[in-house]
Amino acid sequence: MSDFLALFQFEFFRHALLGGLLASIACGIIGTYIVTRRLVFISGGITHASFGGIGIGLYTGLSPLLTAAIFSVLSAFGIEWLGKRNDMREDSAIAVFWTFGMAVGIIFSFLAPGFTPDLSSFLFGNILTITPTDIYLLAALNIVLIAFFTLFLRPIVAIAFDREFAKSQRMPVVLFEYLLMMFIALSIVACLRMVGIVLAISLLTIPQMTANLFTFNFKRIILLSIPIGFLSCIGGLFLSYFLQVPSGASIIFISILIYASSKLLVVCRSRKKKVS
């Protein structure tokens, strides 16, 4: 235990904790919309499509996170646009961008000159590699998300629960849907350093699903999923340190354990109430 506490003297570990907190806030906010609106599969498509941007970044020498953000946002807009067309189903649109992004990423990462050591960290994540730049970007995304959801919470909740009702109230549903898809894409890219492409969608859904076990209120789910997500990050760091396993997978493993424990608690409580 004392060895673990000694880690706090290292800057990279403090960056990891701060990055985990900021990512938990961002994922808690936008992830609640994803779970409520049932966009988990769409988010998975955007997550894997982001690999195309990473491959392009490695090939061109640009920042992989920048190119991944651009590619992800464009893919999110493409999925949203194709999914609303009458001649294509939404799951087909997701499959198109999912596979296209992965194909582009693989091709350009192999064409990239020299050795690409960062590729595995983008695929599987390593929270200990978070840089001050990543923290600043996460902080900026949090500010924008908090401001956006604070100002437009009513239409966001209306769209999340009943899109047709929101349209009947003359809300700019299409505009909000595109903006929220953009925020989903940016949140996914912001979490790539932590948990990677393979596991990023879990951070956007599992803490929210856990919070949803205890409340159905949109705002309360956000407020509860943030500490759950951060607790998963801390627990994942503990597990990663003591077992010497990848931090990204450890974070998701702990978050699933928290969900399973919470589900068991809720089931036991409901059975006690029935008995009494």
Q: CB of 109 within 8 A of CB of 183?
A: no
Is the per-residue pLDDT at 245 higher than 90?
Answer: no
User: What pLDDT, on the 0 to 100 scale, is given for residue 243?
Assistant: 84
Question: How many whole angstroms separate alpha carbon 150 and alpha carbon 129?
Answer: 31
What tens digit of pLDDT does each residue of 186-210 get?
Answer: 999 988 877 888 778 888 999 999 9
Asked whether the beta carbons of 93 and 39 are under 8 A apart, the reply is no
Tell whether the model's pLDDT for residue 175 goes beyond 70.
yes
Q: Tell me the H-state helices in the chain.
A: 2-5, 11-37, 40-60, 64-83, 90-111, 119-124, 132-151, 153-161, 163-168, 173-190, 192-203, 206-212, 218-243, 247-275
* pLDDT grade for 211, boundaries at 50, 70 and 90: very high
Note the pLDDT of residue 116: 64
Residue 274 is predicted with a pLDDT of 72
User: Which comes out higher in pLDDT, residue 125 or 255?
Assistant: 255
Gyration radius of the chain's alpha carbons: 19
Query: Lowest-pLDDT range, 8-17, 94-103, 257-266?
Result: 8-17
Integer Cα distance of 27 and 192 in angstroms: 12
- State the pLDDT at residue 150: 95
Between CA 48 and CA 52 the distance in angstroms is 8
Confidence of residue 117 (pLDDT cuts 50, 70, 90): low
Residue range 166-175: mean pLDDT, rounded: 89
Exposure of 10 by Cβ count < 10 A (0-12 exposed, 13-18 middle, 19+ buried)? exposed
Q: Which domains does the chain have, with CATH numbers?
A: 2-271 (1.10.3470.10)
pTM of the entire predicted model: 0.89
pLDDT at 4 over 70: no
